[in-house]
Structure 1
Amino acid sequence: MWMGHYGDENTNSMHVGDTTTPSARAELNMKEKQRMSKMNDTIEHLRKELEAAGVSSKMNKQSILDNTLHYVTMLQNDVVIAKQKSEYALRMAPAMMESSISPLERYFDMSSVPKCIITTDIALVRANQAFLTMSGFTEGALRHPSTLLACLSVDTSRLRTIVRDAMETRQPVRAAVENGFATSLSMNNLVFTAIFDSSGTAVDCIEVVVVASSHQYRQRPPTGHITV
Structure 2
Amino acid sequence: MSNEYKELARQGLWKNNPGLVQLLGLCPLLAVTSTVTNALGLGLATLLVLIGSNITVSAIRQWVPKEIRIPIFVMIIAAFVTCVQLLMNAFTYGIYQSLGLFLPLIVTNCAIIGRAEAYASKNPVKQAGFDGLMMGTGFALVLLALGAIREVLGQGTLFDGANLLLGEWAAGLRVEVYNLDSQFLLAILPPGAFIAMGFLIAIKNVIDNKIAQAQPQQEEQNIERVRVNFDAQ
Q: Shorter-chain-normalised TM-score: which range?
A: under 0.3
More helix as a share of residues: 2
More strand as a share of residues: 1
Between 1 and 2, higher relative CO (CA 8 Å, sep ≥ 6) is seen in: 2
TM superposition score normalised by structure 2: 0.22
